[in-house]
Amino acid sequence: MEISWDSLDIEQLSVPQRLDLITAIWDSITEEDESLPVPDWHREELERRVASRGSKPSLTWEEVKARLRRKA
């Protein structure tokens, strides 16, 4: 199915609405297929970030989204 992005009028959405749309699209992809390949460089970057974080607490995805929405 070919989609005409212009026909979706995405520009008419507010920034928070567009972020919600991105989240909904991403969630639909991850729910549909858990077997998506992860490139080696993604794994390496994650390992690098975990190693550099040390004992600092990390944020949950929900906390990150809430922070982004407050800034929008």
The whole model's pTM is what? 0.43
Separation CA 36–CA 20 (nearest Å): 22
pLDDT for residue 21: 92
> Does position 33 have pLDDT exceeding 70, yes or no?
no
CB crowding 35-60: b at 16 or more within 10 Å, else e: eeeeeeeeeeeeeeeeeeeeeeeeee
CB half-sphere exposure, 23, CA atoms < 13 A: 13
Q: Average pLDDT, stretch 33-40?
A: 80
Separation CA 64–CA 68 (nearest Å): 6
> Does position 44 have pLDDT exceeding 90, yes or no?
yes
Sign of CA dihedral 55, 27, 3, 5: negative
